[in-house]
Every structure is written in structure tokens, then in C-alpha cells.
Chain A
Amino acid sequence: MQSIELTATHSAAKDWEEKMKADGVDISACYQCGKCTAGCPMAESMDYTTRQVVRLLQMGLVDEALRSNSIWFCLSCQTCSTRCPKDVDPAKMMEVLRWESQKQGVAAMPNVIIFHKAFLEAVKNNGRLFEVEMTMKNNLRSRDLFNNVDLGPKMMFKGKLQMLPPRIGDNGEVKKLFERVRERRGG
């Protein structure tokens, strides 16, 4: 069995309790009733269930939580946060963990991040989602060239696929918005 350094985990637990509080998540209020997991539609896919992820944070085992696939399988369906008797807001917790996991580069499902990046790039370039651009970038970068390409012809046949990028007539406002966000990140 792996040994755990208790002093370190204790201070990590304290740090994360504060960090989560800043986003309205009350980790210490959780009494482990499991109602969040009971209603979670993705529980079966997750390596740690929603209740267990809260427990990991209570115990300061933050790294486990950040590397779990749970945070990426979470669909933000909000069922847990709706039903939690202690108002912990586990759905928000999952979201905050996703931000941090990605920042640290330890995401268990990097393909999900590749997809979201391709999505936002297509939005930055066109103001609206341009699916052809997004799918091409996503498939190239995830080295999965034929991912969902069977859907393209189906969509096209039904007249649901736009082959040309949308023109929204915003005078480049959306691109500037993206740039101002990036400047604030200092990146």
C-alpha cells in the first residue's frame, strides 16, 4: 500500500477548502451521504464517484482528484448540485478541478481538451462555430482522422452541414474579445 504524508495532505486539504470556497463550493460541509453519486448519470464511467472526489479533497489527496477521469466524464448536468442536502455544489467542484487539471497538464482525457480547443479556435476565427474547421482540427490533433466523419455525409445529405465559414458581420469584435481575454491571462 502506498504511504501518505499526513502533514502535507492536511495542508493541501486546507488550501483546497479555501480555493473551492472562493468559487462557492463548500467541501467541508459534505457529510458523505452519497446522494450526488446516486443521481449521477456518469457514475459508472468514473474511476472515483462524485462523493469520492469530494472525499479526496477533504483528505487533501488533490493530485488523485486532478488526475482522475471523473472530472472529464462529468457532463455538468447539475443533478448532484440540485440534490445535495448540504449545498456543497459538486458540479462546480468538478469544473474548478478541470481548470486546475488542465493548468497542471495532468488531464486523464487529453482528447477532451483537444476537442474544446478546436471548438474555440473555430469560434475565434469565425465568430460562430464552423463545424468543418473544428472537426478537421480536432481529428488531426487527436490523431483520430476518421472520428465521426461518417456523420459528415449524413448531415450534408440532410442539408445540415455548412461548407463555408459563417460571416457574422461583427467587424472583428469577437476576435478582439478573445485577444482581450488572453491579454488578461498574461499569455
Chain B
Amino acid sequence: MKIAYYPGCSLETTGIEFHLSTEYCAKKVDLELWEIPSWNCCGASSAHTLDHLLSLALPARNLAIAEKEGLDVAVPCAACYTHFKNVEAEVRQNEEVQQEVAQVIDMDYHATNNTKSILEVFVDQVGLNAIGAEVKKPLEGLKVACYYGCFLVRPPKLGHFDDRTEDPQSMDDLITALGGTPVEWPHKTECCGAGMVTLSPENGLPLSYELLRAAQLCGADCIAAACPMCQMNLDLRQEEIKKKYKADFNLPIYYFTELMALSFGASPKEIGLQKHFVESVSLVAEIGRKETA
């Protein structure tokens, strides 16, 4: 299976582990990721805040390059994903918007292709059977709080593959297929504080704190994230949160693709686990003792 791949800016820097582990897993399940040549930044929340047309045009240029190849687009970052989905919806609904966007990007674009989150591509297109068949080191005994965040499920009118908006299950099913144990917890789709954690920690940090607290109270050993912004807030800021709230969580924040890669037999190093700020290697050092293959 071949799909266009849009890594997005974070996956070149702060979220490089997401990129490395996604590529590792894709190879194992014969998923060909065609990285969009000369892809550009989606504009993130900045374009959204400052200029509506720009917030459509920046993602559209990437989508148009993939459309020319007749390919759907896989997007790991949940924030890029929602911006892409937004453009698709607006271009499909409104012919004027479609024409204006095409003029600004100087390319034909009709939104005939679809944006898919990388979670969707693995769970829905590759499928849990094919994934289960690749598991060499099951995540036995690992209790995982699956964290979907805002944009994989909201707003529902954008049409997401996991439409159990308030209680999504797709990542939980994936963790189960990898041999792990998803925990029940109420914060699956709560916001991590996004940019506010950096812009105004006093107001943003409490959101990340609540997430960590809920995960720990519900018995999780770690959190599985699907967005580089969420992962960074929960991982990088954990030390600050520890000081501020006198709460020593010590919870590794993995990308779900890292857990998948580990269960496929990847070494922590080759997918960049040592780059986490909360030490994340020792918790998974023991997995797969009972090797299946």
C-alpha cells in the first residue's frame, strides 16, 4: 500500500521520535510512505489566528502535490491533521474558496484525495490483524493510558474515522493488539494546554498536570500520545510540573508508534527513545521476555 506522507515541522525536530518510529513500523507492514517533495509548514495555529486564507493555502499546497499523484495523505501530527481536514472541508463545500485557494497556491486543487491520521492508516487500512502478526515482543504487563487529545476526534463534523468522540477506542484496540493493557481513564480527549503551556505556563500548565494526574490515578505506567505538541507538553514539562505541584509522576510519554515499533522488535535507540526528557527506556527494557517469534 502506498500513501503520501506529510511529516510536518515538529517531526524534524522536537518530535523526531514520532517520525523514526512511524517509518520503522511502516516498513514492517509494507506501507510505502511517499514523502511529499518540498512539503511546507501547515501554518499551525498561527495562520489560523492571523489569516484565514493563509491557513487554507499552506496546507493546500501539500495536499495539491499529493492529489496530482492520486494519493491520500498520511499525517502523524494531530494539529497538522486538523488543519488539513479543515481545508478539505472548506474547498469541498465552497467553489469560491476552491478557486481562491487554487490561485494562491498556483496549482490545481479539488480535494479529491483524503487526509488520514497515521493512527487511522495503521488501525484502519493496514489493520490490526496485519499488525498483530508482526508483534515479536508483546507489551505484556504494560499499562497504557491512550491519549487521543483534541484533534483526532473533534470537531465531529470534520468526519473522523474513530467517531466515538467522547470515548474513542482505536488506539486502545491497537495497544491490545500489541499485547499491552489499555487502562480506562477519563482524560482521553482532554486538551493538554497546547501552545498556552509555553505562552502562559501559569494558565496552560494545569491542563498538562491534570492529564498526568488522571493517568497515574487510573493505574497507568505510561501514556501513549498521538501528537508532538501533546507529547512535548507532557514529557518536556514534567520536570516543571513536578516542582510546581510537588508531584513526582515519572510517567514516560510514548508516541503510540514507538510502542508499536518496540513490540515489532525495534531497539529503543534506533527509534530515538533516549531523546525523551523523562527517562523512557527502562520501563520497556523488560518487554518481550517471552519472545513469540
Chain A positions within 8 Å of B133 at CB level: none
Chain B residues 7 to 43 lying within 8 A of chain A, measured CB to CB, are: 9, 12-14, 16, 37-41, 43
Which residues in A have their C-beta under 8 angstroms from that of B145? none
Segment at the interface with B among A1-9, A12-20, A53-61, A174-182: A174-182
Chain A CB within 8 A of B193 CB: yes
Chain B residues in 8 Å Cβ range of A102: 49-50
Contact A45 B203 (CB under 8 A): yes
- A116, CB-defined interface residue at 8 Å: yes
Contact across chains for B106 and A151 when beta carbons are under 8 A apart:
no
On chain B, the residues within 8 Å of A139 by CB distance are none
Given the complex of chains A and B, what is the CA–CA distance between A102 and B193 in angstroms?
22
Given known A73-B203, A76-B48, contact A123–B275 (CB-CB < 8 A)? no
Q: Tell me the bound Cα distance from A70 to B14 in angstroms.
A: 29
Q: A-facing mask of B74-115, CB < 8 A → 1, else 0?
A: 000000000000000000000000001001111000000000
Query: Which residues of A have CB within 8 Å of B43?
Result: 120, 123
B51 and A170: CB pair below 8 A?
Answer: no
For the complex formed, measure the closest distance between the CB of B122 and the CB atoms of chain A, giving whole angstroms: 24
Contact A176 B54 (CB under 8 A): no
* Contact between chains at B53 and A42 (CB < 8 Å): no
Chain B minimum-CB-distance residue to A119: B46
Complex: how many Å from CA A123 to CA B50? 14
Note all chain B residues with C-beta closer than 8 A to A45.
203
Cβ of B154 and Cβ of A78 under 8 Å apart? Answer: yes
Chain B residues, Cβ within 8 Å of A158: 275, 277
Q: Is the CB of A159 within 8 A of B199?
A: no
| A120: chain B residues within 8 A (beta carbon) | 43, 46-47, 50-51, 54
Query: How many residues of A are in contact with the other chain, CB < 8 A?
Result: 52
Question: For window 43-71 of chain B, which residues contact chain A by CB distance below 8 Å?
Answer: 43-54, 57-58, 61
The closest CB in chain A to the CB of B165 belongs to A82
The answer to whether A91 touches B61 (Cβ under 8 A) is no
> How far is it, in angstroms, between the C-alpha of A41 and the C-alpha of B38 when the chains are bound?
37
CB closest residue in chain A, given B50: A116
A95 within 8 Å of B by Cβ?
A: yes
Whole-angstrom distance between the Cβ of B274 and the nearest chain A Cβ = 8
A184 in contact with B104 (CB, 8 Å): yes
Interface membership of B144, Cβ < 8 A: no
Cα A127 to Cα B277 in complex, Å, equals 28
Pick the contact of A112 from B37, B39, B199 — CB < 8 Å?
B199
Q: CA A75 – CA B150 in complex, angstroms?
A: 10
The answer to whether the Cβ of B128 comes within 8 Å of any Cβ in the partner chain is no
Determine if B191 and A75 form an interchain contact, defined as CB atoms under 8 angstroms apart.
Answer: yes
A120-B47, A168-B38 known; A75 vs B195 contact (CB < 8 Å): yes
Closest residue of chain A to B202 (Cβ to Cβ) is: A45
The answer to whether A128 and B41 touch (CB under 8 A), given A42-B196, A151-B236, A160-B275, is yes
Give A148 to B197 CA distance when docked, in angstroms.
11
Tell yes or no: B155 within 8 A of A by CB.
yes
Task: List residues of chain B with CB within 8 A of the CB of A91.
Answer: 155
Q: Which residues of the partner chain B approach A112 to less than 8 Å between Cβ atoms?
A: 49, 199
Closest 3 A-B residue pairs measured CB to CB?
A78-B154, A116-B46, A77-B191
User: Which residues of B are at the interface with A, using a C-beta cutoff of 8 A?
Assistant: 9, 12-14, 16, 37-41, 43-54, 57-58, 61, 100, 103-106, 150-151, 154-156, 165, 190-191, 193-196, 198-199, 203, 207, 236, 275, 277
25 A-B residue pairs with Cβ-Cβ distance under 8 Å, sorted by A, are A77-B154, A77-B194, A81-B154, A95-B49, A102-B49, A102-B50, A112-B49, A116-B45, A117-B46, A119-B46, A123-B41, A123-B58, A128-B12, A129-B41, A129-B44, A131-B13, A158-B277, A160-B13, A170-B40, A177-B58, A177-B106, A180-B57, A180-B104, A180-B106, A185-B51
Interfacial residues, chain A to chain B (CB-CB below 8 A):
41-42, 45, 73, 75-79, 81-82, 91, 95, 98-99, 102, 111-113, 115-117, 119-120, 123, 127-129, 131, 148, 151, 154-155, 158-162, 166, 168-171, 173-174, 176-178, 180-181, 184-185
* Given A77-B191, A123-B40, A148-B198: 16 more A-B contacts, CB < 8 Å: A41-B207, A73-B196, A79-B154, A82-B156, A95-B48, A111-B199, A115-B195, A128-B12, A129-B9, A131-B13, A155-B13, A161-B13, A177-B40, A177-B57, A180-B106, A181-B57
